[in-house]
Homo-oligomer: A and B are copies of this chain.
Amino acid sequence: MLDAAVALIGQRGTAGTTLKEVGEQAGYSRGLAGYRFGSKEGLFGFVVKAVGEEWLRELTAVTRDKVGLAAIEAALDAHARFLAEAPEHVRAFYVLWFEAIGPRSTLKGVIERVHERRRRDVLEWIARGVAAGEIDPELDTGAVADHFCGAIVGIVYQWLVQPVDRARIEAMHETLKLTMRRLLPAHLPSEEYTP
């Protein structure tokens, strides 16, 4: 059922996807999808949660035992890989993500929580980088985290618009790494001059 929904969202978009087709493509009757999920929005919520958890597992795996810039770069690498291998799941996830911003969207809450979670992760990586002495403690970490999360959204947007241009997407991840290196200056830069 999940796979059918993901495939249809990828092909026809959310407006073009019907509960009837989802049910039938999954090998059931026309009515099952509506019955199980209550409504179209209910189905979409299920898809977002399922794929979101998939990504979360991936992310925690690659950032385990990493702090500061290393964690951020590992996360970016994993993200680029996730998009490049582009299982349709990710595409459906982000299509739903971007549509959830409208008013009256029941998905909004779910998406907001994912977003907030991302931000806290970034803050955590930075805080640990500060603790490890590799990042300046004076920094406005909230602003940097916001910029990072926003930039990710921007990259994904670009990817959804032109998924073909893989090199460009990877370049955007690299530019974001560079940006983060510039925004997160080393702690006690004077040490750089003591050989």
Instruction: Report copies per complex.
Output: 2
A57 at the binding interface (Cβ < 8 Å): no
Chain A residue total in the interface (Cβ 8 A)? 48
A32 at the binding interface (Cβ < 8 Å): no
The CA of A182 and the CA of B144, in the complex, are separated in Å by 13
User: Which residues in B have their C-beta under 8 angstroms from that of A171?
Assistant: 142-143, 146
Instruction: Name the interface residues of A121-145: CB closer than 8 Å to any CB of B.
Output: 140, 142-144
Determine if B12 and A104 form an interchain contact, defined as CB atoms under 8 angstroms apart: yes
A112, A147, A155, most chain B CB atoms within 10 A: A147
Instruction: Name the interface residues of A15-51: CB closer than 8 Å to any CB of B.
Output: 15-16
Contact pattern, A 95-109, Cβ under 8 Å of B = 1, otherwise 0? 100110111110010
A11 at the binding interface (Cβ < 8 Å): yes
Q: Which of B101, B144, B151 contacts A147 (CB 8 A)?
A: B151
